[in-house]
Amino acid sequence: MSGSAEYLLEARNIVKVFGELRANDDITLSLKPGEIHALLGENGAGKSTLVKIIYGSLQATSGQLFWQGQPVTVANPGAARDLGIGMVFQHFSLFDALTVTQNIALALPPDVDIGTLAGRIETVSNDYGLPLRADALVADLSVGERQRIEIVRCLLQEPRLLIMDEPTAVLTPQEANQLFVTLERLASEGCGVLYISHRLEEVKRICHDATILRHGKLVSRVDPQQETAASLANLMVGAEVAAVKTDRGGKTGKPLLELSGLSLPTDDPFGVALKDIELAVHAGEIVAVAGVAGNGQSEFFDAVSGERPTANAATVKISGQACGKENITQRRRRDAAFVPEERIGHGAVPDFPLSENVVLTHHAVAGGVARHGMINRAAAREVNREVTQLFDVRKGTPDPEARSLSGGNLQKFVVGREMARQPKVLVVNQPTWGVDAGAAALIRQALIDLARNGSAVLVISQDLDEIFEIADRIAVISRGELSEAYPAEDMSLEQIGLLMAGAHEKSTSGVAGS
């Protein structure tokens, strides 16, 4: 058996079984040299399993890989790199305390000459429009610069195929545009690119071909440039994805969440201190905080939620009451709810059933699932049932452990759990991180509906498409400083990109509408 010499990579009839789950069910994919090929699908569609098989992190149960027409067994990532396959993962594997050169050296053969490596890094990075200082500490770099390290680390191995998993999720619009230029240059030099993304407009922009998976099966192969973002989403989901109804322009009420002079030092050597933040979120509106990851979003969420109280009570007010010194439970009792970025371990305990995960946050609500120190398990199960129904949480049993849910379904549960009691203030960090188009639309519509019913909603998000879809006003956080919140209709991608790069620091005048 042989493959076609015209293809750089062929994956034929790939099957991968985990217990009773067929994560990949007879998938065939082919990619030519110089082609940017999108791999699309909902959460749990089998994308990650397939690329891990191609990269050697997993072995297929059955099926065959062909590399330049010849059958191959990719035993491990080292074997993949030897063939010429590189991969840039969504979550970076870098050491903050090491330099750029030291981090890159860890992925190269042990006999690499460190003395000449720094020069090679700077030459290659500048040549491809991804400039890096080889002696810079990773801790001092932006997230966009950290991604450059991962890409340059692959480029130094002269890959023939580059696999990229959600590469623009942490980039400013300007950085994303530069990445697209780099990928197009690589393709022009004959390098194939396998591109995974939930951002369908960018898939349409740069990809020549698209393979679409659903529930582990191949459902379609299309030219994305001949499709719309909506038609691609419909192919991924298997049904029409409902359009989000924004309904902007309604009247807002009094401020329900106020931040005044909010400063907070960081207790993490690689963290970000908050600097004199001012913001008010009114009843009936959604304010979105944009920013590149690592610019103080986690610290901001901790300060607003009460996970890290402040020394001055007046820095945070909920419904007009100073509560900066209060913890998260006390702030929940003021009819506020909070959804953290990390759903497993922070938003939910993986070994607890969903009903017990309800108790973790609803115990603070008077007359809810707990009274006088006693848990009402029937009430907790009822909340679980309501959230399951309203947010289409798909699960095998009525009350499974949180760890058994897919990422998208657990995200719907965690967001739905906090919205089930219709809080007057909701703060949510990365509401649709890593979820598919259908789940994202459902969550975004629920946030809009909550605001239109009179709640104040504060959304922290790196997804600019999401921000423009749901926000009434937009602020940007950069290096722990928050810009003014501008009306969404007055903002553009370019203006947000400038703010992400720090244009608002110390002065924000003239940015919006400039």
Put simply, whether the predicted model's pTM sits higher than 0.85 gets the answer: no
**Cα–Cα distance, 325 to 306 (Å, whole number):** 8
| Fold of the domain built from segment(s) 9-237 | Rossmann fold (3.40.50)
Q: Write down the pLDDT at residue 73.
A: 95
Q: Which of 289, 48, 40, 272 is nearest to 143 (CA)?
A: 272
| φ, ψ (nearest 5 deg) of residue 101 | -60, -45
**Cα–Cα distance, 213 to 221 (Å, whole number):** 9
Q: Write down the pLDDT at residue 509.
A: 40
**Cα–Cα distance, 261 to 26 (Å, whole number):** 57
Whose tokens are 């090491």? That residue is 98
Instruction: Name every residue whose Cβ is closer than 8 Å to that of residue 340 and which is 6 or more positions away in sequence.
Output: 301, 305, 346, 347, 429
Q: Do domains 9-237 and 255-335+423-500 have the same CATH topology?
A: yes
CATH superfamily ID and name for 255-335+423-500: P-loop containing nucleotide triphosphate hydrolases (3.40.50.300)
Q: Which of 222, 168, 235, 156 is nearest to 197 (CA)?
A: 168
In the chain, where the domains are located = 9-237, 255-335+423-500
CB 274 within 8 A of CB 299: yes
Q: Write down the pLDDT at residue 2.
A: 67
Per-10-residue mean pLDDT, the chain, length 514? 82 93 94 97 86 95 96 95 90 87 90 89 90 90 84 91 86 84 94 92 95 94 94 87 78 95 87 95 97 88 96 97 97 96 91 96 83 88 95 88 86 95 95 81 94 97 90 95 96 90 61 40
Instruction: For the beta carbon of residue 175, count every other beta carbon within 10 angstroms.
Output: 22
Residues recorded for the chain: 514
